[in-house]
């Protein structure tokens, strides 16, 4: 079973973190939320308290198939300033493993040089932080081992695209039908 870790920092965007967790778990991916705080409780940008599955210090990302960064402010800034997160992302990228970032969070990848020569999207206004990338303005952009999303409204498209990497388009289409995504209600 594929394994994913979602980094949570105070100020994360609720839907950008939790919609992908939900969709990936429905799709059969083992997803763990990881607090980078001093406690396992993390406050979203909208004041929702979430208890993370684990603390950053207790995690071993060597078994990770996917590392994910939700956006939101100051959540994305907090992720960008966390040396452990930065180190984990670089190691993961060196192995050409999948990395997902949405909204403001692609700036973390840009600051690390992980977007050089790649196409990427992000929340409008953060384009200059995507160092070396070609900004697409698409809701979701996949380029090699990096998948980026534009913002809260793209959370489902982003999550389905991540799931497709592991389970394929047929599984994603079935899940979309079951979740009544993009069809008649």
DSSP letter for each residue of the chain: --EEEEEE-TTB-HHHHHHHHHHHHHTT-EEEEEE-SSSSEEEBTTS-EEE-SEEGGG--GGG-SEEEE---TTHHHHHHT-HHHHHHHHHHHHTT-EEEEETTTHHHHHHTTTTTT-EE--STT-GGGSTTPEE---SEEEETTEEEE-SGGGHHHHHHHHHHHHHHHHHHHHHHHHTT-SS--
Catalytic residue of the set 34, 103, 146, 159: 103
140: annotated active-site residue: no
Which residues are the active-site residues? 103
């Amino acid at each position: 079973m594929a394994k994913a870790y979602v980094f949570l920092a105070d100020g994360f965007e609720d839907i950008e973190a939790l919609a992908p967790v939900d969709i990936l778990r429905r799709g059969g991916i083992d997803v763990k939320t990881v607090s980078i705080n001093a406690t396992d409780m993390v406050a979203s940008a909208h004041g929702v308290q979430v208890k993370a599955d684990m603390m950053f210090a207790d995690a071993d990302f060597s078994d990770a198939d996917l590392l994910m960064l939700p956006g939101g402010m100051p959540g994305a800034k907090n992720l960008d300033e966390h040396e452990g997160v930065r180190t984990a992302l670089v190691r993961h990228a060196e192995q050409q493993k999948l990395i997902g970032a949405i909204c403001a969070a692609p700036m973390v990848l840009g600051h690390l040089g992980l977007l050089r020569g790649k196409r990427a999207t992000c929340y409008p206004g953060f384009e200059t932080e995507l160092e070396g990338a070609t900004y697409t303005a698409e809701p979701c952009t996949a380029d090699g081992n990096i998948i980026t999303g534009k913002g809260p409204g793209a959370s489902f498209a982003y999550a389905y695209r991540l799931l497709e990497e592991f389970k394929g388009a047929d599984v994603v289409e079935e899940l979309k039908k079951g979740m009544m995504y993009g069809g008649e209600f």
